[in-house]
Chain A
Amino acid sequence: MPTLNDKDLNNNIVDVQSFAMNFGRKKVINNLSFNVRKGEVFGFLGANGAGKTTTIRTLLGLYEPTGGTLNIDGKRYNPRMSATIGYLPEERGLYRNELVINTMVYFAILHGLDENVARKRAFTYLKRVGLADKAYERLVKLSGGQQQKIQLGVTILHEPSLMILDEPTEALDPVNRSLLMDIIGERRSKGATVMLVTHRMDEVEQLCDRILMLKNGSAALYGKIDEVKEQFGPQIIVLNFSGKLPANDKLYKITKKSANYAELTWRENVSTDEVLKYLANNNELHLKTFDVRLPSLNDIFLELYKDEEAGK
Chain B
Amino acid sequence: MSRLIDVISFEVRRNIKKKTFWYTTLVLPVIIIAVFAITQASSNHATNTSQQQTTSYSKTAKLAVLDETGLVNKQNLEKLHIAIEPNKQAGINAVKDGQLTAFFYYSNDVAKSGIQVYAQDQGITFTPPYNALASELLSQSAVAKISAATHNSQALQIIENAPSITATTYKNGAETNSLAGIVAPIIFFAIFIFFAIMISYFTIAATTEEKENRVAEILLTTIKSRSLIIGKILSILLLGIIQIIVIIVPLIIAYAIFHNHIRLPGGVSLSHIPLDPKAIAIGISVLLLGLVMFTGALVGFGSLFPSAQDASRYLALVIIWAFLPLYALGYIVSSPHAHIVTVFTYFPLTAPSTVLLRNAVGTLSNGEAVAAIIILFVSAIIAILFAIRAFSIGAMSYNKRISIKELFHQ
Which of A's residues lie within 8 Å of B, judged by CB?
57, 60-62, 77-79, 82, 85, 87, 89, 91-98, 102, 106-107, 109-111, 154
Contacts and interface: CB of A to CB of B under 8 A. Distances in A.
Interface of B: 3, 6, 10, 14, 18, 209, 213-215, 217-224, 396, 398
B306 to A, nearest CB: 12
Given A60-B221, A62-B396, A92 B14 contact: no
Contacts of A110: 3, 6, 219, 222-223
B131 to A, nearest CB: 60
Contacts of A98: 14
A94 B97 CA distance: 83
A92 B223 contact: no
Contact of A62 (B10, B213, B215, B221): B221
Contacts of A92: 214, 217-218
List the 8 shortest-distance A-B pairs measured between CB atoms, nearest first: A93-B214, A82-B222, A110-B222, A89-B217, A93-B213, A60-B221, A91-B214, A106-B10
27 contacts: A62-B221, A62-B396, A78-B224, A79-B221, A79-B224, A82-B222, A82-B223, A87-B217, A87-B218, A89-B214, A89-B218, A91-B217, A91-B396, A92-B214, A95-B213, A96-B213, A97-B18, A98-B14, A102-B14, A106-B6, A107-B222, A109-B6, A110-B3, A110-B6, A110-B222, A111-B222, A154-B218
A197 B6 CA distance: 31
Q: Is the interface of A mostly helix, strand, loop or mixed?
A: loop
B206 to A, nearest CB: 11
Contacts of A111: 222
A60 B223 CA distance: 12
A107 B217 CA distance: 12
A185 B148 CA distance: 107
A151 B18 CA distance: 23
**Which of B6, B222, B223, B396 has the largest number of chain A CB atoms within 10 A?**
B222
A77 B14 CA distance: 30
A87 B214 CA distance: 13
B214 A82 contact: no
A82 B219 CA distance: 10
Contacts of A61: 221
A93 B208 CA distance: 13
Nearest to A57: B396
B396 A93 contact: no
A88 B223 CA distance: 15
A278 to B, nearest CB: 56
Nearest to A85: B221
Contact of B215 (A77, A87, A94): A94
Nearest to B225: A79
Nearest to A81: B221
Contacts of A91: 214, 217, 396, 398
Given A85-B221, A95-B213, A97-B14, 14 more contacts: A57-B217, A77-B221, A78-B224, A82-B222, A82-B223, A89-B214, A89-B217, A91-B214, A92-B214, A93-B215, A95-B14, A98-B14, A111-B222, A154-B218
A56 to B, nearest CB: 10
Contacts of A106: 6, 10
A24 to B, nearest CB: 8
Contacts of A89: 214, 217-218
B218 A107 contact: yes
Contacts of A85: 221
A154 B222 CA distance: 11
A96 B14 CA distance: 11
Contacts of A107: 218, 222
B214 to A, nearest CB: 3
Contacts of A82: 221-223
Contacts of B223: 79, 82, 110
A201 to B, nearest CB: 26
Contact of B217 (A62, A95, A97, A102): A62
A3 to B, nearest CB: 18
B213 A94 contact: yes
Nearest to B216: A91
A96 B214 CA distance: 10
Nearest to A98: B14
B220 A79 contact: yes
Contacts of A97: 14, 18
Contacts of B214: 89, 91-93
B375 to A, nearest CB: 32
A83 to B, nearest CB: 9
Given A62-B396, A94-B215, A79 B10 contact: no
Contacts of A77: 221
A87 B209 CA distance: 20
Nearest to A158: B222
A295 B3 CA distance: 50
B216 to A, nearest CB: 9
B6 A95 contact: no
Given A98-B14, A102-B14, A110-B6, A79 B213 contact: no
A87 B218 CA distance: 7
Contacts of A60: 221
A68 to B, nearest CB: 18
B6 A87 contact: no
